[in-house]
Amino acid sequence: MSKSNLPDNWEWIPLEKFATSVGGYAFPEKWQGRESLQFPFIKVSDMNKTNGYYIESAKNTVDESILAKLRAHTYPVETIIFPKVGGAIATNKKRILAQDSIFDNNIMGIVINPESFIEVKWLFYFLLTIDLMDLAHSGPLPSIRQSTINQLEIPVPFPSNPDKSRQIQSLLLARIEQVLFELTEARRLHDKIVADTNRLMESVLAEMLPNPEKGLPEGWGALPLSQLASEESNQIIPSDHPSDTFNYWGLDAISEGQIAEPPSNYIQGSEVKSTCISFTPKDVLYSKLRPYLNKVIVPTVDGIGSTEWVVYRPNPKLIRREYLAFVMRTKWFVSLASGTSYGARMPRANKSVLREIKIPIPLITDPGQSLSIQEQIVERISQFSSDVDSMQKGNAQQQRLLVQLEQSILAQAFRGEL
């Protein structure tokens, strides 16, 4: 926001003039896991569970005795918090404490001085207009310094007249919250449309690809995945080929449940330090990490990727790879893979279990005819998925517009134009 856009009698005031930035505390594992104690101990992951912008609880709690052992203290209700270290900064989460709480050292807080006339919501809504990454100190691990927050300037109406300033802040906050309430309703309807769109794909997959555990149509059979596709383990260390160019797909190459193949991502071998897997247009890529995210790729190009991808090479005499990929995307397959995954924080599908999952095969006794029917099924699902993909792209565009609208509303408010 350009400072020249401020109305008359408004000023940019450094945050340190009316608030204090504060850091969190280390939280040894031996004190974690306790519930229902007096004070929430907030981690970044807890910031997803909120009532509006307010954070009321956390997975871990502490009491006065634990605080004494940690040599820590709580921060007051209406402290504003946000991530200050690593990739979490890019999520741009900002929250307000709904009760006295403590937070870990990956979080920073802002406590408005008790004697200040700056409303908490005034500061909070202004912070929503700021990209936290713009405040981060660059380096191997991005971080936000307290000195940066202290020097952050906030537009304040009539700072020399506290009573008038409070009055204007209150009027603008009421207007902001009225408009944001209307925007929240628009988002609710948008989220329903997104959910309905996603269920459309689930429905067509369920209709076309039956769950063998619940019965199969006449003439159909089922074979374990291990009999239909081999598991390839072609590993490569790209940094051993520093001048070569590779198409690299990490797990973030596609979004949850995405069907369309991601765009190519060409990088030099020197840019990839870790071991990777290689794949070809004969394969299907299946993400074993967090299988509930339902990430499957049918590549039409050669490439390399994260070792979190499992590379399956279907037997072309028994199964079409596009058909296998659609089966892997069904709700029942995802449920089987997720239900037997291991690891609490980073669940991974059990490859031994995956090998034994039964894959439904039409006309199993006649492989030639079976492949023909599989092709017809793939064509019908692909036609439908193309329509769903178009709807999802429209939904994504609508989501971007809603975010832009929120930013526009807040920018107008802090220019005194709302």
Mean pLDDT, the chain, as a whole number? 90
Q: What is the mean pLDDT of residues 81-93?
A: 92
Q: Using an 8 Å Cβ cutoff, are 267 and 300 in contact?
A: no
pLDDT above 80 (res 361): yes
pLDDT in tens, 317-348: 999 999 999 999 999 999 999 999 998 778 99
Domain count for the chain, please give it. Answer: 2
pLDDT above 60 (res 359): yes
Helices and strands, counts by H and E, the chain: 9, 21
Among 26, 29, 55, CA closest to 40: 55
pLDDT at 183: 78
For residues 76 and 208, membership in a common domain is answered with no
Taking phi over 0 as left and psi of -120 to 50 as alpha, with beta for the rest, 284 belongs to beta
For residues 220 and 90, membership in a common domain is answered with no
Q: Using an 8 Å Cβ cutoff, are 79 and 111 in contact?
A: yes
For residues 134 and 230, membership in a common domain is answered with no
In sequence order, what are the beta bridge partners of 304?
248, 278
Last residue of a domain, one of 158, 185, 207: 158
Taking phi over 0 as left and psi of -120 to 50 as alpha, with beta for the rest, 48 belongs to alpha
Last residue of a domain, one of 338, 355, 375: 375
For residues 18 and 91, membership in a common domain is answered with yes
pLDDT at 398: 66
In sequence order, what are the beta bridge partners of 157?
10
pLDDT above 90 (res 111): yes
For residues 251 and 340, membership in a common domain is answered with yes
pLDDT at 30: 92
3-state secondary structure of 58: coil
pLDDT at 413: 75
Range of the domain at 297: 199-375
Q: Which of 49-63, 104-118, 181-195, 379-393 reaches the highest mean pLDDT?
A: 104-118
Q: What is the mean pLDDT of residues 250-270?
A: 90
Higher-pLDDT residue of 311, 6? 311
For residues 90 and 142, membership in a common domain is answered with yes
**Residue 15 resides in a domain:** yes
Q: Give the integer Cα–Cα distance in Å for 404 and 272.
A: 35
Confidence of residue 412 (pLDDT cuts 50, 70, 90): confident
Longest dimension (CA), the chain: 86
Q: Give the integer Cα–Cα distance in Å for 57 and 44.
A: 12
**Residue 346 resides in a domain:** yes
pLDDT above 70 (res 395): no
DSSP 8-class letter at 222: E
With a threshold of 0.85, does the pTM exceed it? no
**Residue 59 resides in a domain:** yes
Q: What is the mean pLDDT of residues 35-43?
A: 94
For residues 219 and 125, membership in a common domain is answered with no
Exposed/middle/buried for 238, CB within 10 Å: 0-12, 13-18, 19+?
Answer: buried
Q: What is the mean pLDDT of residues 253-280?
A: 91
Q: What is the mean pLDDT of residues 91-114?
A: 95
Q: What is the mean pLDDT of residues 139-152?
A: 90
3-state secondary structure of 216: coil
Among 198, 223, 209, CA closest to 323: 209
pLDDT above 60 (res 4): no
Q: Give the integer Cα–Cα distance in Å for 177 and 184.
A: 10
Upper half-sphere CA count for residue 10 (Cβ side, 13 Å): 20
**Residue 244 resides in a domain:** yes
Alpha-helical regions (H) of 6-158 = 64-70, 120-127, 146-151
Upper half-sphere CA count for residue 89 (Cβ side, 13 Å): 20
E-strand stretches of 64-168: 80-83, 95-97, 102-103, 107-112, 153-157
pLDDT at 3: 58
For residues 228 and 135, membership in a common domain is answered with no
**333: number of Cβ within 10 Å:** 24
Indicate if the alpha-carbon torsion angle 47, 52, 53, 55 is positive or negative: negative
pLDDT at 31: 92
Among 59, 92, 97, CA closest to 77: 97
**Residue 27 resides in a domain:** yes
Side chain identity at residue 217, one-letter code: P
Q: Using an 8 Å Cβ cutoff, are 12 and 415 in contact?
A: no
Last residue of a domain, one of 128, 158, 188: 158
Q: What is the mean pLDDT of residues 352-364?
A: 96
pLDDT at 186: 74
pLDDT at 1: 46
pLDDT in tens, 214-236: 999 999 999 999 999 999 988 99
Q: Give the integer Cα–Cα distance in Å for 199 and 356.
A: 27
Confidence of residue 394 (pLDDT cuts 50, 70, 90): low
- Domain of 37, CATH number, reads 3.90.220.20
